[in-house]
Amino acid sequence: MKLKRRGFLGGFNRFRLMLTLGLAVVLPAAALIYVNFRELRAFKYNKVLEATIHRDFQEMLAITEKKINKKAYAMTEDARELFPSSDTDASDKEKKLDLILAKSPWLTHVFLFDEKSFVLRTQPQQMGDKYIREEHERMAESYHVWFSSEGKMMVEGMHKKPRPINFYTGQTKRSDGDAYFTTALFVLPQLSSDRVVVGGITFDTCYLQQTFFPEMLEESVTQRVTEQGGNPLAMMVYPTEMDMGHEAKPLAATAGWSEGKPEVSRKLDDVFRGLTLGIKFQGTSVEALGQTWVHRSFFILGFLSLMIIGGLVLTKHIVSKEMALARLKSDFVSNVSHELRTPLALIRLYAETLELGRITTQEKKQQYYRIIRKESERLTALINNILDFSRIEAGRKEYEFRNTDIAELVRNTLESYRYQIEQQGFAFEESIDSNLPAVPVDREAIARALVNLVNNALKYSSDDKFLGVKLYRENSVVKLEVADHGIGIARRDLSKIFEKFYRAGDPLVHNTKGSGLGLSLVRHITHAHGGEIAVESTPGKGSKFTLSLPLTSAVQQPAMS
């Protein structure tokens, strides 16, 4: 009788499950992955991050400018304090100005203008320099004229400021090329506002370039890094006009500047007008940082996507497995019902026939009795299998191990089948080694395993009817072999036939009654005895099941899979 394995309902359920899995899980996951990848690609680099860093840089530059100005003002004020009164005579002024120069090596020129005279002093050791000497001469000439004409206005303007100091900046020449200078002009502290007296100092260009700026910038950068950590920063200051297009050449820079464009820049005002401050990360740029971020995000997203995909594949696998098991279970119910119905129908039929008293010959009667006995034996075997199986499933199956003459056990079990085997036209070959030591086994369980194997050999044979049973010792194990020349088992089924409910897909198998429980019981029994079950089979040629039992049984109670 052919049994339908996969009904319409089974197929429909599977379809519905796949549809649910597809719509509810795979689609959203795929959409999520797709949207994330697209967004990341469109990002190029993180704009928000970039804006935050730039704002932070702007702030740092503003603070640095303030500090630089403060220091320059303080230095100028210190010098201003030392300025002579304009009312002393010329040689006295010179002396006092020279004293200021001696005390402040960071100055190149100091000068004092009043209504009567203009005194200009320059660092004596710098006067050897041709450029400085020329500068001195130029200043001596032009400043006098300048202050004479504009001094009054200048002084009035300065008196209105909270700090009466003006800074003038510009380029000048030095032996090693262009240099940047700043000159501070101020009114003297003790004088009233109607006196046109102007004092002034010019910062040494070398001092600015080699000491003042490097120290100020380094201080800013180190302070920031020790306060907040993170990527090390670099700062520099450069003449503003160089900003146009080509890469700015620093006037002074911190150690880590190396080269490259500033990330953010700020034009200086007041004291150092004409210079620009620049800042960047050491050895990297915000863009590169952003790119690293994007790459890392891509990597993480890729990894998570793989995990999602892996999870989905795993889920599908588990669900398919569960569904296959559910299908096997439903097959099992219908298989068992058929297996129960057929022998019951036969028993009823033959018993009724006998009851009617129509059978006259003794021989015929004997034949009917035998059929009834055989069918009821089959029923018992099936029910025993089911009961054993349910005990195992519930974890209640217990084995009773006793030292047993296993040769005698096998011989006895086969004996009760001999008639049936030969009746069905099987060539029966038996090879039992009688000199085996006693083995600790559960008699009933081992007999049931053997009966299941023999029954399978009988069930799954077609034309070449052969049954071979061998019992022998190999080292420390006893081996029980059951071989047939039957239909064999396809390679893909070999690993599954020991699973509960599993029956091979072969139509020949499905025309044969069975519950799919036999071999799973055999395996459970063997494992409980600390043994192994193995199968070799060639489709169309036959199969050989080998049950190995250790001589000293390592008894255990495995769970059924």
What residues make contact with ligand ADP under the rule CB under 6 A?
Answer: 452, 456-457, 460, 484, 486-489, 497, 502-504, 509, 514-520, 543
Residue 337 contacts by C-beta under 8 Å, 6 or more apart in sequence? none
The residue type at 186? F
HSE of 508, CA atoms in CB hemisphere, 13 A: 13
Cα gap 91→111, rounded to integer Å: 13
165/471 with CB nearer ligand ADP: 471
28/540 with CB nearer ligand ADP: 540
362/561 with CB nearer ligand ADP: 561
Cα gap 493→333, rounded to integer Å: 21
201/489 with CB nearer ligand ADP: 489
Q: Sheet holding 264-267: strands in order across? A: 252-253, 233-239, 275-281, 264-267
Instruction: Work out how close the CB of 327 gets to ligand ADP at its nearest, in angstroms, rounded to a whole number.
Output: 14
Q: What is the CA radius of gyration of the chain?
A: 53
173/459 with CB nearer ligand ADP: 459
161/341 with CB nearer ligand ADP: 341
Strands 427-432 and 466-474: parallel
SS3 14: helix
What is the enclosing helix (H) or strand (E) of 16?
helix 8-20
Cα gap 220→237, rounded to integer Å: 13
Instruction: Work out how close the CB of 514 gets to ligand ADP at its nearest, in angstroms, rounded to a whole number.
Output: 3
Burial 260-289 (b: 16+ CB within 10 A, else e): bebbbbbebeebbebbbbbbbbbeeebeeb
Burial of 380 (C-beta count, 10 Å sphere; 0-12/13-18/19+): exposed
Instruction: Work out how close the CB of 300 gets to ligand ADP at its nearest, in angstroms, rounded to a whole number.
Output: 48
341/348 with CB nearer ligand ADP: 341
5/174 with CB nearer ligand ADP: 5
Residue pointed to by tokens 């021989």: 363
197/489 with CB nearer ligand ADP: 489
Q: How far is CA 169 from the centre of its chain?
A: 57
Q: What is the DSSP string of 465-505?
A: -EEEEEEEEETTEEEEEEEE-SS---HHHHTTTTSTT---S
- Residue 417 and residue 450 in contact, taking contact as beta carbons nearer than 8 Å: no
Instruction: Work out how close the CB of 521 gets to ligand ADP at its nearest, in angstroms, rounded to a whole number.
Output: 8
Instruction: Work out how close the CB of 309 gets to ligand ADP at its nearest, in angstroms, rounded to a whole number.
Output: 35
| CA dist list (Å): 178 to 172, 181, 212 | 6, 10, 18
Instruction: Work out how close the CB of 8 gets to ligand ADP at its nearest, in angstroms, rounded to a whole number.
Output: 24
